[in-house]
Chains A and B, each alone.
Chain A
Amino acid sequence: MFIRLLKEAFRLTPAFLFGSTGETLTEKSGHLNLGTPGIMCMGVAGGMIGINLYDKICGGFENASPVLTFIFVVFFALLLGALSGLIFSFFTVSLRCNQNVMGLAYTTFGIGFYGLIFKTIESSHFQSIFFYNNYCSTINTLFISDQACTNNFQYLFGANGVLWFMSFTIAIAVAVVLKRTKVGLFVRAVGENAGCADAAGINVSTYRYVTTIIGSAISALGGLYYFVEMNVGLLEFGNVDAYGWLAVALVIFTLWKTDLGILGAILFAFLFKLPEIYGLPSPQLNMLFQYLPYFVTIIILVMISAFDKKAAQAPGNLGIPYFREER
C-alpha cells in the first residue's frame, strides 16, 4: 500500500516541479509571474494543438511514431509557454505594467484559452477520446511499463515517462546554473538589485525577458505533464490551474531553491495523494489533507519573516519593475 502511495506521489511530483522550477527561475530575475497557473493551462493547450497537428500530418494514429508524437507535443507546449513568457515580459518590462495584475490577468486568460482549445477539439469529431489515450500512453511508457517491473526500485523510479525524468533533470540543472555559474550570478543580481546590476553593465531588460521566457516554457511542461500523465490523455477538462497555484506556493515553500523544490514537490504530491490512496474515513478529513500544502506554505512564510535571514528571503527586487531613470 505504502509503495503504491509513493509511486502515485512520484507520478504526481513533476506536475508541481515543472511549475515551481519555472516560476523560481522567473522570480530569481525579479519577475513575480502569477500567471503560472495560466501558463500551465497554455501548456496543455499547446500539447493538444501539437497532437492535433501531428495527427493531420501523419494521417492517423496507425502511422504515428511515439518519438515524433512526443516531440510535437512537447514542442508546442514549450512554444506556447515561451510565448506566454514573452507576452508577460512585454507587458511588464516594455510597457511597464504591474506584474501582479498582469500575472493574474494571464492566469484568467490561460484557463480560458485552454477551455477554448479543449472545446474546439472535442467538437471537431476527430477520432475518439481514445486517440489521446493511445498516443499519450506511448509517451507514458517509453521505458518500461508498470506491469513489467520486477522490483520496487524499478517500479518507483524506472517505470516513468520521459517528461518525468525531464522534470528532475531541469530542476537540478536550473539549480546548478543559478548557484554555480556566472550567468546564474547575473540573474540573481538582477533579481536582488536591478539598479546595481545595471550599473555593473548587465542588461536588466534582456535578462528579465530571457529568464521569464525560459521559466514560462518550463512551467508549461507542468501543465502538459498533468494532462498526458495524470489524465492519461483522456479528454477531460481538468483543473490544471489548481496545480499551478500549488506550484507558486511551492516556490515560497522551498525558499526559491529549485533543488529543494524536488523534495518540496514530492512532499506536496505525497500529501495530495495520501487521502486518495488510503481512503480517509471522512470527506472532511480528505479536504483537510489536501489543504495541508497551502498551510505549510503559510507556516514557512511566517518562519522566514520571523528569522529574518536575508539569504532565505525572496529576491530583493521581486515584483519591482526597473526603469533606469533618465539618461
Chain B
Amino acid sequence: MSPSLLVLLNMKKNLVLQLKNISKSFGKVQANSNVSLDLYEGEILSLLGENGSGKTSLMNIVAGIYFPDSGSVEIKGEPVKITSPKDAFKYKIGMVHQHFKLVDIFTATENVVVGLDKKTRASILEDSENVKVQETKEQPKENILKRVFNFITKSNLKDSADRIKNICNKYGFVLDPNKRVCDMSVSEKQTLEIIKTLYRGVDILILDEPTAVLTPQEIDKLFAVLRKMKEAGKSIIIITHKLNEVMDISDRITVLRKGELIGTVNKVDTSIEQLTEMMVGQKTELNIERSEPKGKEKLLEVKNLSVKNAFGHDVLEDISFELKEGEILGIAGISGNGQKELLEAIAGVQPIANGEVIYHRLKKNKPVSFYHKSLNQIKTLASEGAFHTSKGEKVNFEGITNFEIRNRVNNGEILFNDNETMLLKGKNPREIRELGIHLAFVPEDRLGMGLVGNMNINENMMLRSYRKGNGPFLNFKKPRDTAEKIINELEVATTSANVQVKKLSGGNVQKVLVGREIAYAPSVFMVAYPVRGLDINSSYTIYNLLNKQKQNGVGIIYVGEDLDVLLALADRILVLCNGKVSGVVDARKVDKRELGALMLGK
C-alpha cells in the first residue's frame, strides 16, 4: 500500500477529538499558543517535542487538569467544556500521568473504584467492555442473608475485580486485582493506571511519557497492549521525546516546539531526520558575547563516573570529561537524562557508585605563601621537591634559618612546581569546602535546594558562611554586606534585604542565588537551568555574569535546555543521552541539528 493511500484511509476514519487554537499561559510563560490537533478513531498519535514544548500542558487541558485560556475542544464534532478530570471521564477521555496517581495501601481493585459513584458506574455498565459482566449480574436477586454475608466478607468489590480480570484478558495485561499498590513494580503500577482508565470506559487514552520508567522488555509489552487497544478501536495519544519509539508505535506524529504547533506528519511519510529538525528548529541568533577560553590548565576531571539511583539502576554510566579554567562547558540533553545527577555527584550531594572526580588546584607557578602559612608544612613540601624559585632554580632550604625561609616565601620567591590533585569521591559538600575547594552549585530547584524560601536575603547569604566566625552568636555584618552588594550590582528588585526570598519573583530569586555563589569566589561554577522561567532581560544578566566569571578563569558547567543559548554561550558542549555521553562537540562549529541528533542518541 502506498503512503498516500494510507493517508486516505486515515481520513476516512472518524474524528474523535479535535483541539482548535488552544492557548494556555502560566503567568508570563506561554505554555501553548494556538495549537490545533486532530485525533481519529483507532489510531496512535505521538506528541513529540523537547522539554518545555507544551506537550504535557496541552494534554492536561484535554484531561481536565487545566482549562485553556482560549480555543475549543471538540469531541466527535461537538464542542465541549472539560473543567475537571470527572468531566474528562464523562467524555471518555482518560490520562495516565507521568507521576502515577495511586493510593499506595489500596489494592488494585480499590484503586480502580475510587471516585466512581453510582451514576458513573451505570454509564460504565452500558459500555461494551462490561456487557458480559452485566449479563451475569441479571440473576435472580440474592436473598438478604447472602448479601449481608457478601458485605461482611468484603466481596462487594468482587464484581469490580471480575471486570478488571475481563479487561486484563481482553488486552493481555497481567495484574492481580488484589495486590496492594505498594507491593507493585513500576510497570504494574502503570498497567493499573491504564486499567483504571479502561474500566471507566475511555475511548481516548493519553499516556504521558509512559516509557520513561520502563525497561526495554516492559516497553515491548506495553506497545503490544497499545496495539491491541488500537485494534479495539481506541484512540491513543502518547507524549514522548524518544524518536525510535515514535517510529515504532505511532500512526501519525504531531510535533510541538516552544508551545507552538510545528506540524503533523504521517509516520510512513517521515524520517527520524525530519522529525529531529522539526523538534529543534532552525538556529536563531542570540546576542551573547563569547570570549575565547583563557587558560589551558585542567580544573576538573571526571573519570568513568557512574551513579545509581535509589532502585539500583544506572542513571549515569561511564561519564568522562574534563573542564578547563576559563571555559564554559555546556551540557545538553533532554532533561532526566542524568544532568541533575552529574552535577550533584560532582558537588558531593549524590553518592558515586564508580569512577572518580578529580579536582586540580591550580598551584603551578603560584607563590607558596598564597596557600601555606605554616613553616613546618612548607619545609616538608620543600624536602619533597614541590617548589622552584621564581628564577627557575631548585629550592633547597637546608642550612637556612627559619627567618630567612619565611622571608623568601613571603616575598613570593618560592613557587609551586605542579598543580595539586584532589579526589572528591566520597566527600560531602562540607568536606569539599573544608579542603579549600571553591565549588559553587546553582541547582535546578532554586527554592528547594538552593535557597530557603521563608528566610530573608541576609539569612540566605548566611547559609554559605554560618560556620565561620567564633562564639555562639551569628555575625550579621558580612552577609548583610554581601546581600546589599548583590542587590545593587545585579539589580534585584526588592524593597530591602530583609524580604523573604519566596516573595521575590523567579528571576530575582535566581539572581540572589547566582550572586551568592559568585560572592563565594568559586573556581568551578556549576549551574543548572539558570534561566528557566526568567524573562529575556534577566536571562541576559545571568549570561553576562557567567561570562564575567569565565574571564576571571572560573570553569563553568552550564546545564541548559535551550540549544540556541548553549550554542551561543558555551565553548564546548557535552551531550548526555540515557545517562551516557553521546558526544562532546565544539560549540563554535556544531550545528543545531547535529546536537539534536546527539541528544536523541543517534
Q: Which of B83, B103, B104, B106 lies at the interface centre, i.e. has the most chain A CB atoms within 10 A of its CB? A: B103
**Residue A327 interfacial (CB < 8 Å):** yes
Query: Which of A180, A200, A327 contacts B114 (CB under 8 A)?
Result: A200
Query: Which of B66, B85, B116, B156 contacts A180 (CB under 8 A)?
Result: B156
Closest chain-A Cβ to B269's Cβ sits at a distance in Å of: 37
Closest chain-B Cβ to A61's Cβ sits at a distance in Å of: 45
**Residue A182 interfacial (CB < 8 Å):** yes
Q: Given A310-B105, A311-B105, A327-B67, A197 and B114 touching (CB < 8 A)?
A: yes
Closest chain-B Cβ to A266's Cβ sits at a distance in Å of: 23
Closest chain-A Cβ to B336's Cβ sits at a distance in Å of: 21
**Residue A286 interfacial (CB < 8 Å):** no
Residue of chain B at shortest CB distance from A327:
B67
B66 cross-chain contacts in A, Cβ below 8 A:
326-327
Stretch in A69-77, A95-103, A185-193 with 4+ CB within 8 Å of B: A185-193
Do the beta carbons of B105 and A201 come within 8 Å of each other? Answer: no
A326 cross-chain contacts in B, Cβ below 8 A:
26, 66
Distance A185 CA – B84 CA, assembled complex (angstroms):
21
**Residue B561 interfacial (CB < 8 Å):** no
Query: Which of B85, B106, B116, B182 contacts A198 (CB under 8 A)?
Result: B85
**Residue A202 interfacial (CB < 8 Å):** yes
Closest chain-A Cβ to B182's Cβ sits at a distance in Å of: 5
**What does DSSP make chain A's interface, helix, strand, loop or mixed?**
helix
Closest chain-B Cβ to A54's Cβ sits at a distance in Å of: 39
Do the beta carbons of A202 and B103 come within 8 Å of each other? Answer: no
Do the beta carbons of B114 and A311 come within 8 Å of each other? Answer: no
Residue of chain A at shortest CB distance from B102:
A196
B84 cross-chain contacts in A, Cβ below 8 A:
201
Within 8 A of A (CB), among B303-325: none
Can you show 11 pairs from A to B with CB atoms below 8 A apart? A185-B114, A189-B114, A192-B105, A192-B106, A193-B103, A196-B103, A197-B114, A200-B114, A200-B115, A316-B105, A327-B83
A327 cross-chain contacts in B, Cβ below 8 A:
65-67, 83
B158 cross-chain contacts in A, Cβ below 8 A:
none
What total of A-B pairs shows CB separation below 8 Å? 71
**Would you give the 0/1 interface string for A249-275, flagging 1 where the beta carbon is closer than 8 Å to chain B?**
000000000000000000000000000
Distance A188 CA – B181 CA, assembled complex (angstroms):
14
Within 8 A of A (CB), among B81-123: 83-86, 89, 97, 101-106, 110, 113-117, 120
Do the beta carbons of B114 and A186 come within 8 Å of each other? Answer: yes
Within 8 A of B (CB), among A185-241: 185-186, 188-189, 192-193, 195-202
Do the beta carbons of B113 and A182 come within 8 Å of each other? Answer: yes
Do the beta carbons of A201 and B106 come within 8 Å of each other? Answer: no
**Residue B154 interfacial (CB < 8 Å):** yes
- 6 nearest A-B residue pairs (beta carbon): A200-B115, A201-B86, A196-B101, A201-B115, A199-B101, A192-B103
A195 cross-chain contacts in B, Cβ below 8 A:
101
Q: Which of A180, A198, A200 lies at the interface centre, i.e. has the most chain B CB atoms within 10 A of its CB? A: A200
Query: Which of B89, B97, B104, B154 contacts A201 (CB under 8 A)?
Result: B89
B154 cross-chain contacts in A, Cβ below 8 A:
179-180
B89 cross-chain contacts in A, Cβ below 8 A:
201
**What does DSSP make chain B's interface, helix, strand, loop or mixed?**
loop
Q: Given A180-B156, A199-B97, A193 and B113 touching (CB < 8 A)?
A: no
Distance A196 CA – B193 CA, assembled complex (angstroms):
11
Query: Which of B102, B117, B152 contacts A193 (CB under 8 A)?
Result: B102
Do the beta carbons of B115 and A189 come within 8 Å of each other? Answer: yes
* Interfacial residues, chain B to chain A (CB-CB below 8 A): 26, 65-67, 83-86, 89, 97, 101-106, 110, 113-117, 120, 151-152, 154, 156, 180, 182
Do the beta carbons of B101 and A189 come within 8 Å of each other? Answer: no
Closest chain-B Cβ to A119's Cβ sits at a distance in Å of: 41
Do the beta carbons of B105 and A200 come within 8 Å of each other? Answer: no
Closest chain-A Cβ to B125's Cβ sits at a distance in Å of: 15
Closest chain-A Cβ to B454's Cβ sits at a distance in Å of: 13
Distance A224 CA – B65 CA, assembled complex (angstroms):
45
B97 cross-chain contacts in A, Cβ below 8 A:
199
Closest chain-B Cβ to A172's Cβ sits at a distance in Å of: 12
Closest chain-B Cβ to A130's Cβ sits at a distance in Å of: 47
Distance A36 CA – B598 CA, assembled complex (angstroms):
61
B67 cross-chain contacts in A, Cβ below 8 A:
327
Closest chain-A Cβ to B166's Cβ sits at a distance in Å of: 21
B26 cross-chain contacts in A, Cβ below 8 A:
326
Residue of chain B at shortest CB distance from A189:
B114
Closest chain-A Cβ to B23's Cβ sits at a distance in Å of: 16
Do the beta carbons of A310 and B104 come within 8 Å of each other? Answer: yes
Distance A185 CA – B106 CA, assembled complex (angstroms):
9
Residue of chain A at shortest CB distance from B60:
A327
Distance A197 CA – B84 CA, assembled complex (angstroms):
12
Do the beta carbons of A189 and B106 come within 8 Å of each other? Answer: yes
Closest chain-A Cβ to B524's Cβ sits at a distance in Å of: 36
Do the beta carbons of A196 and B105 come within 8 Å of each other? Answer: no
Do the beta carbons of A192 and B104 come within 8 Å of each other? Answer: yes
Distance A185 CA – B115 CA, assembled complex (angstroms):
9
A199 cross-chain contacts in B, Cβ below 8 A:
65, 85, 97, 101
B86 cross-chain contacts in A, Cβ below 8 A:
201
**Would you give the 0/1 interface string for A46-65, flagging 1 where the beta carbon is closer than 8 Å to chain B?**
00000000000000000000
Q: Given A185-B110, A199-B97, A310 and B182 touching (CB < 8 A)?
A: yes
Closest chain-B Cβ to A192's Cβ sits at a distance in Å of: 4
Do the beta carbons of B115 and A197 come within 8 Å of each other? Answer: yes
Distance A180 CA – B154 CA, assembled complex (angstroms):
6
Do the beta carbons of A180 and B106 come within 8 Å of each other? Answer: no
Query: Which of B113, B120, B180 contacts A185 (CB under 8 A)?
Result: B113
Do the beta carbons of A193 and B110 come within 8 Å of each other? Answer: no
B106 cross-chain contacts in A, Cβ below 8 A:
185, 188-189, 192
Residue of chain B at shortest CB distance from A202:
B115
Residue of chain A at shortest CB distance from B27:
A326
